[in-house]
Chain A
Amino acid sequence: EPEVTQTPSHQVTQMGQEVILRCVPISNHLYFYWYRQILGQKVEFLVSFYNNEISEKSEIFDDQFSVERPDGSNFTLKIRSTKLEDSAMYFCARQGVNSGANVLTFGAGSRLTVL
């Protein structure tokens, strides 16, 4: 059973539409993260979420982005009005426990394609 489950695996949307990407980090962890990877580029930090609040965010994470953990289980990333340049793989991650507190465990990712 994967430790971090992300849905959908792939979403195609029209520019300007809202998108919600979901993550279910199994077991109780306090720190959660969203990263993204534009095709052919490096994996980039978007936001960290601690104790139900944003802990840190990058300059990429502008007002079009939001995160929440609405039911204490799912961890969501919402893009309010998608742009072409939002097309990327979005990875959810949680802080490690068994492998070390410094280690992030990533989900398989959600591929977002904005047309």
Chain B
Amino acid sequence: DQQVKQNSPSLSVQEGRISILNCDYTNSMFDYFLWYKKYPAEGPTFLISISSIKDKNEDGRFTVFLNKSAKHLSLHIVPSQPGDSAVYFCAASAHGISNFGNEKLTFGTGTRLTIIP
């Protein structure tokens, strides 16, 4: 049961252009979404997150957009840099009032982003 889906296993983007990574989810209880970046032989590294009460969150070159009605979120990286080449994971959690603080994250399968110099 794939509650979080990243349908593009890979994406190649020219350096300096915009990278757009997409993620869809099925569980309407999810209320917090995160993007993690992973290099080989390292653990996932937190990039940016968004609460379901927002539709956009920006941090430097990274912007996450959330469309709750479509159950879709996307990560925009602009401008893309060679160091951005990594696997990007979308993740989601469902808090509720009683469960806040227990971050059981459901991950997507990841998208491998390659930035072409």
Contact = CB atoms under 8 A, between A and B. Distances in A.
A33 B103 CA distance: 9
Interface string B74-97: 000000000000000101010100
Interface in B37-56: 41-46, 49
B110 A42 contact: yes
A99 B109 contact: no
Contact of A108 (B4, B41, B89, B101): B41
Given A103-B49, A104-B105, 17 more contacts: A31-B102, A31-B103, A33-B103, A42-B107, A42-B110, A43-B105, A45-B106, A50-B101, A55-B102, A56-B104, A91-B44, A93-B43, A95-B103, A99-B46, A102-B34, A104-B46, A106-B43
Interface residues of A, number: 28
Contacts of A31: 101-103
A25 interface: no
Interface of A: 4, 31, 33, 35, 41-45, 48, 50, 55-56, 91, 93, 95-96, 99-109
Nearest to A57: B104
B32 interface: yes
